[in-house]
Amino acid sequence: MKTSKTLDLGIVVRELVEPHNHLAILENGVLHRVRCPSLLNQLSHSLEASTSEAVRSPFGSRTIIRVDCLDYVILVDEEAYQWLQRLDRDDSKLGTKGRIWRLYSLMPQLTQEISDKIEKDLRRWHGASRLLTGWDTAPQKLRGSCPVCNKRDSLRARVSEWCAYCLNCGAFWPRETVGVLADHVRRSNGEG
C-alpha cells in the first residue's frame, strides 16, 4: 500500500541493513537524535533481562534470548536466498544483509511484476522488523466492513498516525478523511 507517508524503498533497505539515525521530539520540544544499529542487528542481538523465578540462577538473574526475533532473521535470510536462487543470482557467500542489498540492486533490471514482488517482501521484512524491535506498534483491527470493497474485518488503523487502510482492496483514509471511515464503521456495527 503506497501512501504519501510510505518510506522510500532505499530508506527501507538501509534501515534493515545499516546503522541509521532516529529522530524524536521530546516532551520539552527538544529534537533528540539517536544512532541505531540496523534492524537486522537489533533482531540478532535481542536479549531480554529476565526477572522470572523460573529462569533465575542461584546467583542472580540471567539474560534470555528472544527466539521470535532470531526466527525472523532466519526467515528473512532464507527468503532473500530463495529470491536470488529464483533469479539465477545465487551467491551463497553473501550474508543476509548482502542478499538484501543484492536484491535491491537487481530491481531496476527485472520485470515490473518481479520487482513489485521483491519490493513487497522488502517492505514486509522492514515492517515486521520494526514491530519485533519495538520501534512500531501493530495497527489496530477495526470491526466493520470496508466501504470500498465491503470486506469485513479487513480494516486496520494506525491510531498514532490518524490513518486507516483496507488489507483487501488497499483503500486508504488519511487524517483528513479517517473520520468518515469511523462513522461508516459505527453505522455498519449498528452503533450510530
Answer yes or no: are the C-beta atoms of 187 and 174 closer than 8 Å: no
The residue ranking higher by pLDDT, 138 or 99, is 99
Residue 4, pLDDT > 90, answer no
pLDDT tens digits for 144-156?
A: 899 999 998 889 8
Residue 54, pLDDT > 60, answer no
Residue 88, pLDDT > 70, answer yes
**pLDDT score of 24:** 78
Residue 5, pLDDT > 60, answer no
Average pLDDT, the chain: 84
**pLDDT score of 50:** 45
Q: How far apart are CA 67 and CA 44, in angstroms?
A: 10
In percent, the amount of the chain with pLDDT more than 70 equals 86
Over residues 139-166, mean pLDDT: 87
User: Residue 123 corresponds to which amino acid?
Assistant: R
- Give the burial class of 36: count Cβ atoms within 10 A of its Cβ; 0-12 exposed, 13-18 middle, 19 or more buried: middle
- Rounded to two decimals, what is the model's pTM? 0.69
**pLDDT score of 40:** 95
Answer yes or no: are the C-beta atoms of 190 and 21 closer than 8 Å: no
